[in-house]
Amino acid sequence: MVGAGNIAGPAWDLTSEYPDAESAEVEADLARFDELAAAIEGHNETLLEFLPVATSVEPDSTAIGVAQQIHLLSEQALRLLSNIGNYANCRVSVDSTDEAALRLQGLLQRRRSRYGDALSPLEQFLDRVDDSVVEAYLKGDIASNTRFQVLHRRERRHELLSLEEERLAGALAEDGIHAWGRLYSQLSGTLRCQVDVAGAQREMGIAAVSGLMLRVDDGVRESAWRSINAAWESQIETCTAALNAIAGWRLELCRRRSIKRDVHFLDSPVHANRIERETLDTLMSVAREAVPLAQRVALAQARAYGKARIGPWDGRAPAPSIVEGPPGVVEGPGIAFDEAIAQIREAYGSVRPEMGDFVAMMAERRWIEGTVSDNKRPGAYCTRFMKSKTPRVYTTYTGGMSDVITLAHELGHAFHGWVMRDLPDAQQTYGMSIAETASTFGESVVRDALLEAATDDAARFHILWEDCSALPTFVLNIPARFEFERKFYDLREERPQRPAEIKALMSNAWEAWYGDCLSEPDPMFWASKLHFYISGTSFYNFPYLFGYLFSLGVHAQRERLGADFYEAYVALLRDTGRMTAEELAQKHLGADLTKPDFWRASVASMHSKVEQFEALASELF
Ligand SMILES: [Zn+2]
């Protein structure tokens, strides 16, 4: 039986955490958090006395016991803060008018900054003391679980300025670099575009126009892109000032931090992703080798749309066979939610029955949100409650094929968290470079199963379109962003760049990677892409390429290891919070990420899919 009632997904159950946003249980956790924060602040009075003389602290100093106590309290405080915060966010995601949850979010703001302030003396202390003091701190039960985090952080201690300078730089950043980031967000939220939709002029915000870029109508996508670029063109001096200031701020700090040895602008993003600079260089050189394969996909996509080249508005174009319609409306019967769960369960279960059981458990315990409503926030995510160690998956399920893939993706994240749930809190967070391993793996497993079950060429083409379009995205677009940003930083060392120079730099980067398969470059991409303005993180691009090729590498292990794969996979996921990416790959995949072989094999694993895709594109269009 197929009917609208069966398509929709269920509402999730959050009552295991709190009965309500204004319940006594929430009150109790907030009060407990305040107590813990006050206790940390009390200990800080002692620790702060040691900070100015941190380098002469001895391994038997009383400061070490104080530092351990602060860590212990901070872990409990963070657990509460994150639990209440996730609960409030989950509620607001489902209903943006949930006043009680919105008030709760407000109550957490001040507590979040209080927590950050309370933790800063401990971080400073652990960065500044000698190795022997850190070893004394890590000995014993209290802090030993944080060994990786503490030692990894200390790898950048040569960059430390004096205590006073660090405080000043941190305080000024709020109205300096971060203000530029906020200005950009503000601008992108208020900018209006004049867009031509089916012959009629309409005024729309950037987010709404971006949604048009997912339409199957080539003309709509192109006019959406042109209107977005025209809107940004009207703000070009502002964007230029922001981009120059953000890069200038970071470069100035790098210069000042180059006391013991030169600090490069790539050191920070590479470290934050827990990879080596050598790995990044190898990754980019293999991406270069993979350009012809990615360009073949782009050309086959262009052919399917009846044109010789793709345009810069085609990055997220759907397969041309998809039925056009507003978001949330699915033509035809669609795939019922239970059917989607059954398909994912079977695909996950083909790796190992336990993985299929996990999917069934997520559905049975109602840990998945899939309803459709006007007040829901768009998008999908996976989150985890730190108190109960249970995951939740958020989606708006409308029965489309892409909804099934999204569900498979988020369930992959949930599985990652699930297999880590018994580990110490400190070992449950991982870098962005490997954050998408389990989700992308989950997607591939389900996509492969759907491809195998597909009964006609149109369905096969649709699945392969989704699969193969990752190549132009990750192997052409992401490297173009990276190369642009790197060259921009090099030039910014000399002087701020002018709009015409930045446009030329961006166009050159697009042409260098897309070559002949692109009808025209995207000279305003540096203004329209939010990622260049994230003030807390630079080079928010290469981790996507890393994550894509890394998970293809993991996927390739499935065939190689056969029955032994599942244990190796779970062991790898469990180590993601306590190793660098290189150590992880060496231990669990026997691969050296600083050498090209592993990355080349990932690219090669896409060859046969690209061939099938090309053949179907020629046959169908
Ligand atoms: Zn994800």
φ, ψ (nearest 5 deg) of residue 384: -140, 135
Q: How confident is the model at residue 163 (pLDDT cuts 50, 70, 90)?
A: confident
Distance (angstroms) between ligand 1 centre and the Cα of 436 equals: 5
pLDDT at 290 exceeding the cut of 80? yes
Distance (angstroms) between ligand 1 centre and the Cα of 439 equals: 6
Distance (angstroms) between ligand 1 centre and the Cα of 123 equals: 29
Distance (angstroms) between ligand 1 centre and the Cα of 402 equals: 14
pLDDT of 332: 52
pLDDT of 560: 87
Distance (angstroms) between ligand 1 centre and the Cα of 1 equals: 33
Distance (angstroms) between ligand 1 centre and the Cα of 162 equals: 38
Distance (angstroms) between ligand 1 centre and the Cα of 499 equals: 34
Distance (angstroms) between ligand 1 centre and the Cα of 547 equals: 10
C-alpha to C-alpha distance for 440 and 312, rounded to whole angstroms: 25
Distance (angstroms) between ligand 1 centre and the Cα of 438 equals: 9
Distance (angstroms) between ligand 1 centre and the Cα of 458 equals: 27
Third-level CATH fold of 24-154: Butyryl-CoA Dehydrogenase, subunit A; domain 3 (1.20.140)
pLDDT in tens, 228-254: 999 999 999 999 999 999 999 999 999
Residue 307, CA atoms < 13 Å, CB-side half-sphere:
14
Q: Tokens in use for 361?
A: 């458990």
Distance (angstroms) between ligand 1 centre and the Cα of 390 equals: 17
Distance (angstroms) between ligand 1 centre and the Cα of 103 equals: 28
445, 352 contact by CB (below 8 A): no
Distance (angstroms) between ligand 1 centre and the Cα of 409 equals: 6
Distance (angstroms) between ligand 1 centre and the Cα of 413 equals: 7
Distance (angstroms) between ligand 1 centre and the Cα of 508 equals: 30
Distance (angstroms) between ligand 1 centre and the Cα of 114 equals: 29
Q: How confident is the model at residue 483 (pLDDT cuts 50, 70, 90)?
A: very high
* Torsion region of 61: left, alpha or beta (phi above 0 gives left; psi -120 to 50 gives alpha): beta
Label the pairing between strands 192-197 and 200-205: antiparallel
Distance (angstroms) between ligand 1 centre and the Cα of 437 equals: 9
C-alpha to C-alpha distance for 85 and 93, rounded to whole angstroms: 12
pLDDT in tens, 393-451: 999 998 888 899 999 999 999 999 999 999 999 999 998 889 989 999 999 999 999 99
Q: Computed over its alpha carbons, how large is the radius of gyration of the chain?
A: 25
C-alpha to C-alpha distance for 609 and 617, rounded to whole angstroms: 12
Mean pLDDT of 588-594: 95
Distance (angstroms) between ligand 1 centre and the Cα of 269 equals: 19
Distance (angstroms) between ligand 1 centre and the Cα of 57 equals: 43
Sheet holding 390-394, edge to edge: 368-369, 390-394, 381-385
pLDDT in tens, 57-87: 999 999 999 999 999 999 999 999 999 999 9
Distance (angstroms) between ligand 1 centre and the Cα of 488 equals: 29
Q: Tokens in use for 514?
A: 């897309």
Distance (angstroms) between ligand 1 centre and the Cα of 111 equals: 28
Distance (angstroms) between ligand 1 centre and the Cα of 410 equals: 6
Distance (angstroms) between ligand 1 centre and the Cα of 363 equals: 19
Distance (angstroms) between ligand 1 centre and the Cα of 446 equals: 15
pLDDT at 297 exceeding the cut of 60? yes
Average pLDDT over all residues of the chain: 93
Distance (angstroms) between ligand 1 centre and the Cα of 380 equals: 9
Distance (angstroms) between ligand 1 centre and the Cα of 440 equals: 7
Point out which residues pair with 192 in neighbouring strands: 205
Distance (angstroms) between ligand 1 centre and the Cα of 381 equals: 7
Using DSSP's 3-state secondary structure scheme, residue 204 falls into strand
pLDDT in tens, 126-136: 999 999 999 99
Distance (angstroms) between ligand 1 centre and the Cα of 522 equals: 26
Q: How confident is the model at residue 378 (pLDDT cuts 50, 70, 90)?
A: confident
Q: How confident is the model at residue 374 (pLDDT cuts 50, 70, 90)?
A: confident
pLDDT in tens, 171-200: 899 899 999 999 998 898 889 999 988 888
Note the maximum CA span of the chain: 77
Distance (angstroms) between ligand 1 centre and the Cα of 177 equals: 27
Distance (angstroms) between ligand 1 centre and the Cα of 505 equals: 30
Domain ranges of the chain: 24-154, 249-315+470-621, 337-468
Residues in Cβ contact with 340 at an 8 Å cutoff, skipping those fewer than 6 apart: 397, 399, 403, 404, 407
Could you identify the residue written with the tokens 């809107």? 231
C-alpha to C-alpha distance for 282 and 524, rounded to whole angstroms: 29
Dihedral sign, CA of 585, 591, 592, 595?
negative
Third-level CATH fold of 337-468: Collagenase (Catalytic Domain) (3.40.390)
C-alpha distance from residue 241 to each of 62, 149, 254, 521 (Å) = 49, 36, 20, 23
Distance (angstroms) between ligand 1 centre and the Cα of 279 equals: 22
Distance (angstroms) between ligand 1 centre and the Cα of 65 equals: 39
φ, ψ (nearest 5 deg) of residue 450: -65, -40
Q: Percentages helix, strand, coil for the chain, rounded to the nearest 5?
A: 70, 5, 30
Using DSSP's 3-state secondary structure scheme, residue 262 falls into coil
pLDDT of 321: 65
The helix (H) or strand (E) run that includes residue 384 is strand 381-385
Distance (angstroms) between ligand 1 centre and the Cα of 412 equals: 8
Of 207-216, 406-415, 509-518, minimum mean pLDDT range: 207-216
Point out which residues pair with 391 in neighbouring strands: 384
C-alpha to C-alpha distance for 69 and 39, rounded to whole angstroms: 10
* CA-wise closest residue to 354 among 570, 588, 557, 575: 570
Distance (angstroms) between ligand 1 centre and the Cα of 286 equals: 23
Distance (angstroms) between ligand 1 centre and the Cα of 392 equals: 13
Q: Tokens in use for 391?
A: 């995951």
Q: Tokens in use for 9?
A: 């997904």
Residues in Cβ contact with 374 at an 8 Å cutoff, skipping those fewer than 6 apart: none
Q: What is the dihedral of CA 574, 578, 579, 584, to 10 degrees?
A: -10
What superfamily would CATH give domain 249-315+470-621? Oligoendopeptidase f, C-terminal domain (1.10.1370.20)
